[in-house]
Structure 1
Amino acid sequence: MKFVVFGLTISSSWGNGHATLWRGLCRALAKRGHRVVFFEKDVPYYGANRDFVEIPGGDLILYQEWNDVRRRAEEEVRDADVAMVTSYCPDGIVAGTLVLASARATRVFYDLDTPVTFSRLDAGEPISYIGPQGLAGFDLVLSYTGGRALQRLKTELGAQRVAPLYGHVDPDVHRPVLRVQHYGSDLSYLGTYAADRQDTLQRLFIDPAARRPDRRFLIGGAQYPDDFPWQPNIHFVRHLPPPEHPAFFSSSRLTLNITRQAMAEMGWCPSGRLFEAAACGAPILSDTWEGLDSFFQPGKEILIVGHMEDTVAALDLTDAELGRIAKAGRDRVLEEHTSEHRARELEILLGGATSLSRSTGGPAAMMEA
């Protein structure tokens, strides 16, 4: 199949979670004989931090303004089998109009930011990537978040057919590697700074660092403010591109996952960092949220922490105990959560959407009926 995608970014992993997911999914789709044409607006902050320039077996089309690429977009969609627009696409509404006008392609919307979509909807704020008609015209609406979010996409945004397409990891990229000294830590945390994670980071990372001054703590990420409450034993590595993630996680005795507030409140929204860390063989500490036990078995494949004392207790586990958790978590990811698994799921979902569209005349016909 030929996929045409209008997304946020695949070329830069700086300050976003979209790029790594798309890279893994595109590689998996290419291995399965598909081709992806990805349209990305060339904005300065991604252009200055570009760490990916070529889609295997596909095309990356960078553009300055929509009018500059409109004709090319029309041509690519004309013979596409799948035409997709994603959340946070800078030109999501006009791209969505183009996708919905396609007479040939299966028309897809993929919300990789479902909790943010609904937090804005609940606050009465505009959603820049969804038009006034909502999602009713799409043959298939995919969501990075499962659970009750799927029903809300139907009842509040008019989606006709919805399904989760969760995060994933490319094990060819994220895998155990030799320990790198400057990434070495007793506890690491990899994530862009976010104000809504700061209280949890304080409780589960910064306070334990103060309690255990003899241990080495490491933060990797972007956008940390000057007034961040550093401790003497907390070290910092600025933005890490995906090729450095395996060394970061493989050099961590433990690594911490903290979920964004909107994601935690909605549940069923596993961060891609969970799968990446597990695939690299790092034992994971994580806050909890509804649905987490469907992806990892707490106590066996992942450790759940809620208080400073939980983190300190995890630091006191033996290497053998942590090794068993790391192996179980990695095995689970390789069995269920790779990019290859998601590519197969996507093929199945698209097959169902295509059958539905052909048998009913598509979502428009269903609405008219």
Structure 2
Amino acid sequence: MKIVLFYHSLLSDWNHGNAHFLRGIVQELKVRGHEVQVYEPENGWSLQNLVNEYGPEKLNELHSYYPGLATNFYNLDTLKLDSVLLNADLVLVHEWNDHELVKRIGEHRIGKNYKLLFHDTHHRAVTEKSSMAAYDLSHYDGVLAFGEVIKNIYLQEQWTQKAWTWHEAADDSVFYPRTKTELQGDLVWIGNWGDEERTAELHEFLINPVKELGLKAKIYGVRYPEHALKSLADAGIEYGGWLPNYKAPEEFAKYKVTVHVPRRPYVEALPGIPTIRPFEALSCGIPLITAPWEDAENLFTPGQDFLVAQNGEEMKQHLRTVLSDENKAGALVAQGLKTINQRHTCAHRVNELEIICGELGIDSAKILGNKKEQNLHAK
């Protein structure tokens, strides 16, 4: 198939979690013999922040982890869809795109043979409903939603006639267990502060337990306000700033445990959506403890793949257990990694996407692509 994707950024994961999954999907599609073209806006805020703060050499580093990864920059005023979408079989348009772009691609779809899907990987369908309702999806073939509850919103609000659940997953070509050499501490956490959506939770499930247990910990991420940095310093937590996502596996290998603290909108309104961080942590073979979230879609087996702390006191108890009991920690690692490898890699998600393509009527010969390569990578 020729597949064209419009996303905010393939190159930058600076405060841009969608890049994690997108990179893995693009590489997996290419391995299977599909022609993939990614388009992102020129001067996109995520890429500009990355380059401004860390320099263009970071992009060279990215390509050492993702050989052959390439994108195309467009300007909405000069974008020529007839050229870009020539001979396309499948077009994916992410929900972080400009409303005008979404509308224009939909209008271009009229009378064309390619299939067109909108891809939603955020909580704005709940938290910014009017903005999401303003997207014109009338000429789209359907929606890929990263959780069942999001899918149902699109259908109930009649924003689309067809929708599929398409969860995020771990890119196991990059996210796999690294050999542990010299440990640098007890706990590592990788995540952005961002928008005060989980300030209380970060204190209860991360900062306070680390402080009260006297753990050696390090936190990576961006958009940490002064009060957050002060809280980290008061707890004796080292702040590492932005960490390129592809370096997370190397950092996980230097610590004994990590935690997941979901943002409030996911916990309260979007059960079943863990975001991509737990997938990646489990794929790297590090014990994981999470703050409460409802695994409504049975993606995992809580208590076996990871431990769940209902409050700060339970978080401390679980941390003590994992840090002191090597057998328990090892069992969590083994089971979590097994679950990822059996169900939650980008190869699994491409398998699902190819099934959806079949339902949309794309020719099966195009969907199969390089069948030999597909058989090697499908799991």
| TM-score where L is the length of structure 1 | 0.86
- 2:369 equivalent in structure 1: none
Residues 28-52 of structure 1 show CA distances to partners (whole Å, capped at 9, x for unaligned) of: 1111111211110122541342655
- 1:252 equivalent in structure 2: 255
- 2:179 equivalent in structure 1: 178
- 1:78 equivalent in structure 2: 86
Question: Is 1:271 aligned to residue 275 of structure 2?
Answer: yes
Structure 1 letter corresponding to 2:118: F
What percent identity do the matched residue pairs reach? 23
Matches within 5 A, 1:54-93: 59-63=70-74, 65-68=75-78, 70-71=79-80, 73-89=81-97, 91-93=98-100
Residue 136 of structure 1 and its aligned partner are, at CA, apart by 3.5
- 2:147 equivalent in structure 1: 145
Residue 131 of structure 1 and its aligned partner are, at CA, apart by 4.2
Matches within 5 A, 1:1-369: 1-42=1-42, 43-49=44-50, 51-52=58-59, 59-63=70-74, 65-68=75-78, 70-71=79-80, 73-89=81-97, 91-102=98-109, 103-113=112-122, 115-121=123-129, 124=130, 126-127=131-132, 131=134, 133=136, 135-146=137-148, 148-179=149-180, 184-194=184-194, 195-213=196-214, 215-228=215-228, 229-230=231-232, 231-265=234-268, 266-291=270-295, 294-317=298-321, 318-354=325-361
Residues 182-234 of structure 1 show CA distances to partners (whole Å, capped at 9, x for unaligned) of: x7332221101131111111001111122112x21221111111221123431
Structure 2 letter corresponding to 1:342: R
Paired with 2:87 and 2:345, the residues of 1 have a C-alpha distance of: 29
2:208 aligns to what SS in structure 1?
Answer: helix
Structure 2 letter corresponding to 1:234: I
Paired with 2:16 and 2:153, the residues of 1 have a C-alpha distance of: 24
Residue 274 of structure 1 and its aligned partner are, at CA, apart by 0.6
Paired with 1:238 and 1:287, the residues of 2 have a C-alpha distance of: 23
Paired with 1:192 and 1:82, the residues of 2 have a C-alpha distance of: 33
| CA RMSD between the two structures | 2.2
| TM-score where L is the length of structure 2 | 0.84
Paired with 1:307 and 1:82, the residues of 2 have a C-alpha distance of: 45
2:161 aligns to what SS in structure 1?
Answer: coil
Residues 5-45 of structure 1 show CA distances to partners (whole Å, capped at 9, x for unaligned) of: 11111110100111111000001111111121111012254
1:101 aligns to what SS in structure 2?
Answer: helix
1:49 aligns to what SS in structure 2?
Answer: helix
Q: Where in structure 2 are there 5+ consecutive unaligned residues?
A: 52-57, 364-379
Residue 175 of structure 1 and its aligned partner are, at CA, apart by 1.2
Paired with 1:236 and 1:337, the residues of 2 have a C-alpha distance of: 30
CA contact (8 A) 1:10 1:22 kept: yes
CA contact (8 A) 1:171 1:279 kept: yes
Paired with 1:187 and 1:196, the residues of 2 have a C-alpha distance of: 22
Paired with 1:336 and 1:87, the residues of 2 have a C-alpha distance of: 25
Q: Residues 220, 137 of structure 1: CA spacing in aligned structure 2 closer, same or farther, 3 A cutoff?
A: same
Q: Residues 8, 132 of structure 1: CA spacing in aligned structure 2 closer, same or farther, 3 A cutoff?
A: closer
Q: Which shifted more, 225-234 or 241-250? A: 225-234
Q: Residues 338, 45 of structure 1: CA spacing in aligned structure 2 closer, same or farther, 3 A cutoff?
A: closer
Q: Residues 13, 132 of structure 1: CA spacing in aligned structure 2 closer, same or farther, 3 A cutoff?
A: closer
CA contact (8 A) 2:175 2:284 kept: yes
CA contact (8 A) 2:117 2:141 kept: yes
Q: Which shifted more, 43-52 or 77-86? A: 43-52
Residues 132-172 of structure 1 show CA distances to partners (whole Å, capped at 9, x for unaligned) of: 54x342112100122x3222201214311111110111112
Q: Residues 45, 153 of structure 1: CA spacing in aligned structure 2 closer, same or farther, 3 A cutoff?
A: closer
Q: Which shifted more, 295-304 or 98-107? A: 98-107
Paired with 1:293 and 1:305, the residues of 2 have a C-alpha distance of: 19
CA contact (8 A) 1:178 1:251 kept: no
Paired with 1:66 and 1:39, the residues of 2 have a C-alpha distance of: 11
CA contact (8 A) 1:77 1:99 kept: no
Divergent runs of 4+, >3 A: 50-59, 130-133, 178-181
CA contact (8 A) 1:270 1:292 kept: no
1:222 aligns to what SS in structure 2?
Answer: coil
Residue 100 of structure 1 and its aligned partner are, at CA, apart by 4.2
Q: Where in structure 1 are there 5+ consecutive unaligned residues?
A: 357-369
CA contact (8 A) 1:284 1:302 kept: yes
Structure 1 letter corresponding to 2:166: L
Structure 1 letter corresponding to 2:95: S
Paired with 2:84 and 2:67, the residues of 1 have a C-alpha distance of: 17
1:315 aligns to what SS in structure 2?
Answer: helix
Paired with 2:280 and 2:249, the residues of 1 have a C-alpha distance of: 8
Aligned residues: 342
Q: Residues 316, 94 of structure 1: CA spacing in aligned structure 2 closer, same or farther, 3 A cutoff?
A: closer
